[in-house]
Structure 1
Amino acid sequence: MSFDFDLFVIGGGSGGVRAARVAAQGGARVGLAEESRMGGTCVIRGCVPKKLMVFASSYRAIFDDARGYGWDVSNGELDWPGFRGKLEAELDRLEGVYQGILTRNDVDWYNQRAVIRDPHTVELADGTSYTAKHILVATGGRPFVPEMDGAEHVITSNDIFHLEQLPKSILIVGGGFIACEFSCIFNGLGVEVTQFYRGAQILRGFDDEARGLVADKMIEGGVKLHTGTNVVEMEDRGAEGIWVKATDGSHRTYDKVMYATGRVPNSEGLGLEDLGVEFGRRGEVVVDKYSQTAVPSIYAIGDVTNRINLTPVAIREGMAFVETVFNGNPTAPDHELVASAVFTQPELGTVGLTEEAAREQEPIEVYCTSFKAMQSAFAGRDDRVLMKLIVSQETRRVLGCHIVAPQAGEMIQLAAIAVKMGATKEQFDATVAVHPTMAEELVTMKDPMRTA
């Protein structure tokens, strides 16, 4: 049978674009459809604009530190319209880069929604249909807002970058990394921040000691963090703001209310339900280790599969898909020991097992130190950092590494190489420290803090 394309990709995010480009470079005829902006969540609504906002929000503390070092500086005020304009220009540039990648590699791309009509046919919003030997679903995910009265008045992470002006006060509902990151961002930008989380502690799933320190420092920094708390009622009161009543009985108004209560896969309305593709509990597309669905010609990668919802993982899955389908080399993406960072203030970097998970698995030793970093201590700040290694008593392998510190994301990327290679505690110890640095503590902790 002759097809219009060897591969048709639905979704123009990082994973979809990477798969399309690599397949096309190998000689495949490739089409791609994206209903929104090319670049997907990470480039347009997530990682990139968020990190730029993290940078912008950090200057308040930098000004304070500068005075501690003898510089005569004043904080001034953030020019939000100026920053937002520059941010939007950068996102436009990056979208153009993604479009250029596809065009230069002879990928036919369409700025339209696509649905799958049969295992080999894709229909665009304008009614045009194309056939493809293989179809790759890379539609990502979207913010989840629970059904409730007043839900129409809340904003999500998708809306943050388009605010005409900074609010004077904001309530952020949620306790995951997106909620915590934006609490720190807005707090750093001078907004009065309140955060509700229904659980006992923020950042569920991360190491307890590490997330506890992040929570403490967020509160010390000015975030009004309320755990064990949720929204009961909400009402738009016009110019007065959004009135919110909490489960603890308190109530007040906020200029904005943001929900960051998780994300769900963008799997609805693609036609997959009618073709026999299986879905998980949260609506994720169920795939095997090679990213293949129950329909042999249809594959899925990235957040729509709800495996590990990180941009670099989606890219790796896209590369493995091309290797499997077009290069004849069955390759399963490696989801073991994936490092990640939470860009709170301070940052949290992590790779491998938490102390809680490791001690359920086997006997361990915990090496841990917390101290004042030289730079902030000299400036007069009482910030503390945390360096923590989880070590197997039997094999001596480092099972997990957790860092809470400025630039923890940069540090954990390098530590992850050693952990991924199976380095032992003794190999960490044999590494000569770089002094004076915060990261040197990872190779100078000689005695375990505790065993379990």
Structure 2
Amino acid sequence: MTFDYDLFVIGGGSGGVRAARVAAGETGAKVALAEEDRYGGTCVIRGCVPKKLMVFASEFPAMAEEARAYGWDMPTGAFDWGGFKTKLHAELDRLEGIYRNILKNNGVESFDARARVLDAHTVELSTGERKTAKHILLAMGGRPVKPGIPGEELAITSNDIFHLDKLPGSILILGGGYIACEFAGVLNGLGVAVTQFYRGAQILRGFDGEARGLVSEEMIQSGIDLHLGTNILSMERDASGGIRVKASNGTERVFDQVMFATGRVPNSDDMGLQEVGVKLGRNGKVLVDEYSQTAVPSVYAIGDVTDRVNLTPVAIREGMAFVETVFKGNPTPVDHDLIPTAIFTQPEMGTVGMSEEDARDQGPIEVYCSSFRPMRSLFAGSDARVMMKLIVCAETRKVLGCHIVAPGAGEMIQLAGIAVKMGATKEDFDRTVAVHPTMAEEIVTMKAPVRRA
């Protein structure tokens, strides 16, 4: 059978674009890609990139305050949201243009349209066109969802935060995951009065307990009004124009804005997937094997639509492994083991490997941990604390997990992640000479475990 293309990719995010580019550019495959929204996907358009730029913007008031403690006559001034937003969107436009050019320069045919799967080798575009392909790659990503609370239509999600006409005077953020906590820090730094509700006992569920506890404490110290074990019962528009929120803790308060950061789901709705035999799991995630292949042999899926590890670099790696497997004849399973990641809370948290809680269930461990006031902020009179933590297998001496809560933790964990991925032992860390004076030197100078489990 003759096909229009060797590969048709549905979704123009980081994973889909990488797979399309490499398949076309390195193997000579005839490739097409359809994207119904903007090229670059969640990360570039409404996620990592604009979020990180907002993180940078939000850190300057604290920097100015610290500068004054160091002898600089530095006024903080007012934040120009309009000016920042204009520059932010110009940068996103620039990056989207780069993504489009990458596809064009590698010979990938692009369609600005929604695509649905008609059968194992056919997609239908919202333009009415039908295209056939030997292989179809699903890379539609995910989207934020609201939790089904009365009045939830009054709230925004993380998708909307970059498009606000003006910053609210006050905001309630519902959720305790990394998106909720990151935006709580960002908006707090930009001068918004931030309240955060989370129904659980501690924020950042799934991460190391000691690390997330410190992040929580530091968020509160920075002025975020964090309420744990608390949920929204209902919301309604107040006579003042604000949003009146009834909470499960018995309180009623009015906020200028409410933002839900209560989870994300795969974009698999109305794609024709189950009709052609692709199996879906909880919340609509596309079920795949270790080679990202679905129940339909010609259909593969990568990235957030599979709800495996929802991180941009992981989607890119999955896309590369797909091309190796399908187009280069080199079957390459996806490696989801020991992935370093950073949460851009304030302070940042970087982590790789097991939490203390998870490692404890695997066998005997030693825990090395140091929490202290770093030189820079200590001199400025701040009580802010940082933490360095290693989880070590008592038998093999391998470092099972590394957790850092500190400014620049994301940069540090990238390098620590190499050592942990290589299987470094605690003694390998100990043999490494400290870089002094730095915060990170604590990672190689902790000689005695604080506890064993």
Tell whether the structures are fold-level matches, with TM greater than 0.5. yes
The 1-side partners of 2:246 and 2:240 are apart by: 18
CA RMSD of aligned residues (A): 0.6
Please name the residue that 2:187 is paired with: 186
Q: CA deviation at 1:149?
A: 1.6
Residue in 2 aligned with 1:259? 260
The Cα offsets for residues 132-191 of structure 1, whole Å up to 9 and x where unpaired, read as 000000000000101232111110000000000000000000000000000000000000
SS of match in other structure, 2:51: helix
Structure 1: distance between partners of 2:225 and 2:344? 18
- CA apart distance, 1:238: 5.7
Identity of aligned residues (%): 69
Question: Is the 1:7–1:28 Cα contact (8 Å) retained in structure 2?
Answer: yes
* Structure 2 residue identity aligned to 1:337: L
Q: How does 1:7-46 map to 2 (within 5 A)?
A: 7-25=7-25, 26-46=27-47
- Which sits farther off after the overlay, 372-381 or 146-155? 146-155
Checking the alignment, whether the CA contact within 8 Å between 1:369 and 1:388 is kept in structure 2 is yes
Q: In the alignment, what sits opposite 2:59? A: 58
Q: Equivalent residue for 1:351?
A: 352
Mapping of 1:217-256 within 5 angstroms? 217-237=218-238, 239-256=240-257
Deviation track 1:395-418 (CA, whole Å, cap 9, x = no partner) reads: 000000000000000000000000
Q: C-alpha displacement at 1:348, in angstroms?
A: 0.5
Residue 115 (structure 2) pairs with residue 114 (structure 1) = yes
Equivalent positions of 1:40-439 (< 5 A) are 40-237=41-238, 239-439=240-440
**TM superposition score normalised by structure 1:** 0.99
What CA distance in whole angstroms lies between the structure 1 residues aligned with 2:256 and 2:186? 16
Cα distance in 2 between the residues matched to 1:111 and 1:148:
34
**C-alpha deviation, 1:281, in angstroms:** 1.4
CA distance in 1: counterparts of 2:433 and 2:47, whole angstroms = 38
Distance in 1 between residues matched to 2:368 and 2:140, nearest whole Å: 41
Q: Any conservation in 1 of the 2:150–2:233 contact (CA below 8 Å)?
A: no
1:236 Cα offset (Å): 1.5
Counterpart CA distance in 2 for 1:239 and 1:164 is: 19
CA distance in 2, matches of 1:432, 1:233: 56
Runs of 4+ deviating beyond 4 Å? none
Contact conserved, 2:13 with 2:40, CA < 8 A, in 1? yes
CA distance in 1, matches of 2:88, 2:139: 26
Q: Secondary structure at the match of 2:191?
A: coil
What secondary structure sits across from 2:56 in the alignment? helix
- Report the alpha carbon displacement of residue 244 of structure 1 after superposing the two structures with TM: 0.2
| Alpha-carbon separation, structure 1, partners of 2:291 and 2:239 | 51
**Separation (CA, whole Å) in 2 of partners of 1:91 and 1:373:** 35
Q: Which one-letter code corresponds to 2:92 in the other structure?
A: L
Distance 1:8 1:98 in 2: 17
Residue 280 of structure 1 and its aligned partner are, at CA, apart by 0.9
Contact conserved, 1:240 with 1:253, CA < 8 A, in 2?
no
Deviation at 1:309, TM superposition (A): 0.2
**Residue pair 1:65, 1:376 contacting (<8 A) in 2 also:** yes
The amino acid across from 2:377 in the alignment is: S
Q: Kindly provide the amino acid, as one letter, of the partner of residue 326 in structure 1.
A: F
Using the alignment, how far apart are the partners of 2:270 and 2:36 within structure 1? 13
Alpha carbons 2:149, 2:232 under 8 Å: kept: no
What stretches of structure 1 of length at least 5 have no aligned partner? none
Question: For residues 105 and 404 of structure 2, what CA distance do their matches in structure 1 show?
Answer: 41
Which whole-Å deviations, capped at 9, do the CAs of 1:189-246 have from their partners, x for residues lacking one? 0000000000000000000000000000000100000000000110012643011000
Query: How big is the shift at 1:367?
Result: 0.3
SS at structure 2 position matched to 1:443: helix
Are 2:197 and 2:231, in contact at CA under 8 Å, matched by a contact in 1?
A: yes
Instruction: Give the Å deviation of 1:276.
Output: 1.1
| Structure 1 residue 19, shift from structure 2 partner | 0.1
Query: Does the CA contact (< 8 Å) of 2:135 and 2:299 recur in 1?
Result: yes
Q: In 1, Cα distance between the equivalents of 2:304 and 2:231?
A: 27
Which residue identity is paired with 1:3?
Answer: F
Asked if the contact 1:369/1:386 (under 8 Å) is kept, the reply is yes
CA distance, structure 2, for counterparts of residue 89 and residue 152 of structure 1: 29
**Is contact 1:243-1:253 (8 Å) kept?**
yes
1:263-320 CA-partner distances (Å, limit 9, x unpaired): 0000111110201111111210000000000001100000000000000000000000
